[in-house]
């Protein structure tokens, strides 16, 4: 049985579900809600994680300090992002984005501008997230009658990148920087003839995005690719040499040794880039 403990705002309820506190979201479900009564789950759009740790308690505290309008627009952005970037975005985004947008609007109204040093990298390597960021920035501007700086689209994109990780560990800046650095290494090693608009290059960047996520999380690929590795060693030593450069960089900067599996997949993508050179 799910019992209402408290209406947090018109769209959010704190409830008890089998002696576990949870937050429910649904447009209008908090209006007129009375503590002690049961909730019609047909009204609920989203069920959030049980409030069992300090981070969850922090999210709950945000509902006391941030106006409900920021949660509503964050929910709209989360729905939009899932339609563009997939369903893997975790629900914590609703809270982290609401908190960010609240401060962003306050900064804008006070004339404060904070530049994002990785704007170019996000636009280039995370175009879907940046595209959602642009739409979200426009929606916030309209809803709150402000003119957020252009970099806010990038800041929103960073939140989407963080929310794509199950751990939501806030390493988006590191992830973007790592993708950019490895892409720079490959372009330097292959020369200026790499077609950065090609399908193979886009696939390579997609691979790098997940690769960077694994490196930062310490969750590298371990599978049976020994035969593929040896084949690449024999037939594509040029691609493997570039992969070894990436291996050395990751070892130096992140103290992580890449196994043959990761090197194999990097080499496959690099060899495709080489084959596509003029």
Distance from the first to the final alpha carbon of the chain: 66
Treating both helix axes as pointing N-terminal to C-terminal, what angle do 260-275 and 237-254 enclose, rounded to 10 degrees?
130
Q: Is the pLDDT of residue 229 over 90?
A: no
Residue 41 gets which letter from DSSP? G
The span from the CA of 8 to the CA of 39, in Å, is 14
Q: pLDDT tens digits, residue range 240-270?
A: 999 999 999 999 999 988 988 899 999 999 9
Q: What is the pTM of this model?
A: 0.79
Q: pLDDT tens digits, residue range 173-220?
A: 899 999 999 999 999 998 867 888 889 999 999 999 989 988 988 877
């Amino acid at each position: 049985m799910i019992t209402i403990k408290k209406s947090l705002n018109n769209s959010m309820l704190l409830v008890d579900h089998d002696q576990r506190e949870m937050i429910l979201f649904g447009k209008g479900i908090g209006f007129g809600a009375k503590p002690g009564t049961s909730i019609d789950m047909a009204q609920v759009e989203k069920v959030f994680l049980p409030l069992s740790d300090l981070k969850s308690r922090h999210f709950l505290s945000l509902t006391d300090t941030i106006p409900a309008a920021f949660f509503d627009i964050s929910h709209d952005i989360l729905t939009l992002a899932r339609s563009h970037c997939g369903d893997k975005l975790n629900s914590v985004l609703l809270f982290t984005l609401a908190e960010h947008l609240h401060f962003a609007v306050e900064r804008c109204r006070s004339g404060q501008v904070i530049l994002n040093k990785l704007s170019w990298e996000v636009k280039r390597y995370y175009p879907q997230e940046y595209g959602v960021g642009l739409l979200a920035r426009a929606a916030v501007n309209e809803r709150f009658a402000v003119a957020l700086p252009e970099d806010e689209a990038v800041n929103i994109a960073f939140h989407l990148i963080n929310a794509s990780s199950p751990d939501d560990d806030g390493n988006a800046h590191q992830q973007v920087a790592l993708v950019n650095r490895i892409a720079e290494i490959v372009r330097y090693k292959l020369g200026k003839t790499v077609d950065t608009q090609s399908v193979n290059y886009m696939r390579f960047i997609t691979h790098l995005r997940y690769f960077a996520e694994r490196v930062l999380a310490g969750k590298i690929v371990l599978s049976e690719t020994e035969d593929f590795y040896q084949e690449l060693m024999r037939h594509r030593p040029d691609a493997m040499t570039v992969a070894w450069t990436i291996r050395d960089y990751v070892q130096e900067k992140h103290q992580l040794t890449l196994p043959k599996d990761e090197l194999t997949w990097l080499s496959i993508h690099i060899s495709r880039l080489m084959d596509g050179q003029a």
